[in-house]
Amino acid sequence: MTSQEKQREEAKRERMYDPVLRWQHLQETITWAEANMPPHLRRNRPRVHPSLPKPNRIS
Amino acid sequence: MNVDVILESFNRQEVDAILIGGMNFMLRHQPVLTFDIDFWIKDTDENLSRVAAALRDLKAEWGATEKTWGILPSGHEWLRTQQIYCLTTRHGAVDIFRSVEGLSRYGECKARSSIHRSAGGQPYRSLSERDMLACQLALPEGSRRLDRIVYLQKYLKEHP
């Protein structure tokens, strides 16, 4: 497998992707990714005062 | 993309696969922008049959050309015609790799991989950091993700 093969396959899919479905999938991916991020990397997360200990990382 | 539904379908069909690419890196390490889910699959007839079943469950579409693009052909022989397949499914874009640049044996990489769960509770097998780095270094220089390489090199130094 070469990166050229991958690029060709991706370009073909891009052309065949239903635009409405693609938009919906992008929105869902952003939501899903947000839910799967460790708490300290999430947007709109509860903030803590700098003097308090940072939330634990989840690996 | 509903990644949990895709993982669930692969798990239900007992597909032997390792999660690779941006989604794997995002789940295990840092937020990166990615809009497809990449699976490296064990390249045996039995497993290809399972992969085809999982993709059919997800209402996948693919074609060797744009003219033949549509619902998947029957059976799994079509999965023998290329090394990589970029498909659409009802739940998001899926890439299937029968081989991965920079990585040689599936069994060896699987032995180094580890199993984790998504926030939705779906288990997935994750490519090891060492192999993630090998994938990046195997790419042509212009296609490499330097930030990911630097991160993985630092990670492997701290977690030998």
In this structure, what token pair is assigned to residue B137? 């270094």
Residue A14's pLDDT is 93
- The answer to whether B2 and B90 are in contact (CB under 8 A) is no
- Is the pLDDT at A57 greater than 90? The verdict is no
Query: Which of B23, B25, B11, B15 has the alpha carbon at shortest distance from B79?
Result: B15
- Is the pLDDT at A41 greater than 80? The verdict is no
Alpha carbons A2 and A7: distance in angstroms, whole number = 9
Per-window interface: B 31-90 vs A, CB < 8 A: 31, 34-35, 61, 63, 65-66, 69, 82-88, 90
* DSSP annotation of B2: -
Q: Average pLDDT in the A21-32 region?
A: 87
| Residue B94 Cα distances to B22, B67, B130, angstroms | 12, 20, 23
Residue A35's pLDDT is 78
Partner-chain contact B66 A12, CB within 8 Å: yes
| Residue B112 Cα distances to B108, B109, B149, angstroms | 7, 5, 19
Chain mean position to CA A11: 20
pLDDT in tens, B45-83: 999 999 999 999 999 999 999 999 999 999 999 999 999
Q: Average pLDDT in the A5-13 region?
A: 92
Nearest CB among A2, A10, A28 relative to B86 is that of A10
Percentage of the residues of chain A whose pLDDT score is greater than 90: 25
Interface predicted TM-score (ipTM): 0.86
Alpha carbons B2 and A33: distance in angstroms, whole number = 10
| Residue B70 Cα distances to A8, A14, A31, B2, B5, angstroms | 17, 14, 28, 21, 21
- A4: closest CA of chain B, how far (Å): 10
- At B140, the amino acid letter reads P
- The answer to whether B6 and B37 are in contact (CB under 8 A) is yes
pLDDT in tens, A43-54: 666 666 777 776
pLDDT in tens, A27-36: 888 888 877 7
Q: Average pLDDT in the A2-27 region?
A: 90
**What region does B88 belong to: left with phi over 0, alpha with psi -120 to 50, or beta?**
beta
- Is the pLDDT at A59 greater than 50? The verdict is no
Under-70 pLDDT residues of chain B: none
